[in-house]
Amino acid sequence: MIIPNLMAFVANWNPQLIRELKGRLKPRSITLVSSVSLLSQALLIFFFSAQLPTEKSPYGRYIIDSKQFPIVIEWQTWWNDIFLTMNWILPMALMLGGVYMLIQDLALEEKRGTLNFIRLSPQPGRDILAGKLMGVPILLYLGLALALPLQTIVAIKAQIPIGLLLLQYGVFAIVAMSLFSLSLLLPLVGFAAGWLWTLMAAFIVFPSLQFLQLIFGVARLANENPNAWQDFNNRWDLWIKWFNIPVSYNIAAWYGFMSLTLVVLMVGTWQVLNRRFSDPATTLLSKKQSYLAVFSLNLFLLGFVTPIRSNSWQELGTFFLYGIIPLCLLLAIAALSPQRQPLQDWARYRRESTRHHLKNRQLFQDLLWAEKSPNMLAVFANIIITIVMWTPWILTAQFQFNSSQSHQNWQWILGLVFLGGLILICATVAQLVLLKKIVKPQLWAVGIVLAIVLFPFICMVLIPIQPDQYPVPFLLSFAPWASLESAQFIDFFLTIAIQWTALFLLNVQLHKNLVKAGESQSKALLTNR
């Protein structure tokens, strides 16, 4: 009686979830997953039991004194090793297995055409996707849940505080949900190779788990020695502050800050998911959302390096400025670039507006705010937001190249301007490609932008040149900082001239293509009438 009532409640709350559960929770599947989980746990215990010393072989990691008889086993170390092994296996299986299953399921729904049918249901898009997130990996959740009792027993035997264990479970769950949310987005933008993205996710999950395991290990030491956390942070200069707020003051504050950051990321991801699921032809972000996202990202990163406390933290800020932020601005191009049909609709609208003498009055507002307009002005606005926010930090920093002569601060600002120009070129090229009538224009746009980014570096490898001898190629690449010290005024002028000439020519071509697209769309509509 309880189970039917529970199923009825779930069906009313989230019909998509009940659809996923009915399709997966078959007796045979449940039996198979339960058997694999329990057998894996038995094999794990058997493996570690085989490592225990015996009277015939009184050696190994778990013996206290090999000369003592009868032998005395260090049981806490043995239990601790089992716990650490499970603490790697379970989250890795959860995150990588969940990523693969979610991507493959949505890709299969898209291929069969059932995803469009689901979109027609009266359920909100977020409820459908939430049902997918909870229901698709349900057998994986079941298998891992069956392992939790053993890990809890092992943790108690290893004298690990249950409160600390629950805290880590919470962090793992938030990390997994954030990763799953991003995974749901990939098939919606046309990237459906589950195995490939699972492999790429492994490069994120593995170092993340290493870091979390390190923090967890230090937290365990701090439980026995209150000074261990402070000693660890002092030794490695890891006192993390966000705008001088000590977010790593203790383990609870650190876990809380990480969790809050991931929750904010998850909320933003679900905004994008709901928007894209409801209208597959729309951009991932509206222009207004992109300005807020870029502002928030810059504010978040600036918080870690403001004020500058040491050279290592200044180097981190430089990495943010010339590594993370350009990558995110390239992703903003993908999030803001409308496809061919929306661009044609906008071009037709602009053509009609021109006939009614509204061109000058509305063009700027359209390019800055309109959903279907080209991406260049929005990308330019995001670049300006970045430069304005980081300029005060750059002016207070003392930059060095190869630990030698310090750069002038204005040179680093100019380097950021060069990066912005290259990103604008990438944005215009991507928009030109998306306007073409070709198969899979998104993949072509991504490939061409990657070629623009990587081609200079490939040429520098094949034709070895030094930044002090030929600074312009470096200034035109995504590594302008390499030649800032050696570049002369003429090099800066030449770089600006090349970039803005390329931008002018590309935008002239884009304007011609848009005018042509608007005329074609208008003629097609008149013909249909």
Question: Ranked by mean pLDDT, which of 106-110, 426-430, 484-488 comes out on top?
Answer: 426-430
pTM of the model: 0.88
How is residue 220 written in tokens? 């365990």
Contacts with 115 (C-beta within 8 Å, 6 or more apart), sequence order: 106, 109
Residues 453 and 441: their CA atoms lie apart, in Å, by 18
The pLDDT value recorded for residue 125 is 84
- Tens digit of each residue's pLDDT (9 = 90 or more) over 210-258: 878 877 777 776 666 666 666 666 665 566 788 888 887 777 888 888 8
Of 229, 231, 217, nearest to 80 by C-alpha is 217
Tell me what percent of the residues of the chain surpass a pLDDT of 90.
Answer: 40
- How does DSSP assign 284-349, residue by residue? SS-HHHHHHHHHHHHHHHHHHHSS--SHHHHHHHHHIIIIIHHHHHHHHHHHH---HHHHHHHHHH
The residue whose two tokens read 């990657």 is 450
Average of per-residue pLDDT across 44-53? 90
Residues 229 and 223: their CA atoms lie apart, in Å, by 9
- Using CA atoms, how far residue 30 sits from 33, 90, 148, 352, 500, in Å, is 5, 18, 17, 61, 62
Residues 438 and 416: their CA atoms lie apart, in Å, by 34
The pLDDT value recorded for residue 267 is 94
The pLDDT value recorded for residue 521 is 54
Contacts with 86 (C-beta within 8 Å, 6 or more apart), sequence order: 44, 147, 150, 151, 154
Residue 30 has pLDDT above 80, yes or no: yes
The pLDDT value recorded for residue 89 is 93
How is residue 249 written in tokens? 């003051």
- Tens digit of each residue's pLDDT (9 = 90 or more) over 53-103: 776 766 667 776 656 666 777 888 899 999 999 999 999 999 999 999 998
How is residue 172 written in tokens? 């793992």
The pLDDT value recorded for residue 50 is 87
The pLDDT value recorded for residue 15 is 86
- How does DSSP assign 484-529, residue by residue? TTT--HHHHHHHHHHHHHHHHHHHHHHHHHHHHHHHHHHHHHHHH-
- Tens digit of each residue's pLDDT (9 = 90 or more) over 143-195: 999 999 999 999 999 888 888 889 889 989 999 999 999 888 888 887 666 66
Contact at 8 Å (CB) between 198 and 99? Answer: yes
Residue 36 has pLDDT above 90, yes or no: yes
- Say if residue 355 is exposed, middle or buried (CB neighbours under 10 Å; 0-12, 13-18, 19+): exposed
Residue 111 has pLDDT above 70, yes or no: yes
More confident residue, 320 or 306: 320
Considering just the CA atoms, what is the radius of gyration of the chain in Å? 28
Residues 247 and 220: their CA atoms lie apart, in Å, by 19
Q: Which sign does the torsion angle of CA 114, 118, 120, 125 carry?
A: negative
Contacts with 323 (C-beta within 8 Å, 6 or more apart), sequence order: none
The pLDDT value recorded for residue 26 is 92
Residues 75 and 77: their CA atoms lie apart, in Å, by 5
Domain ranges of the chain: 14-278, 287-528
Mean pLDDT of the chain: 84
- Tens digit of each residue's pLDDT (9 = 90 or more) over 275-292: 999 888 889 999 999 999
Residues 427 and 378: their CA atoms lie apart, in Å, by 10
Peptide bond into 70 cis (omega under 30): yes
User: Does residue 246 sit in helix, strand or coil?
Assistant: strand
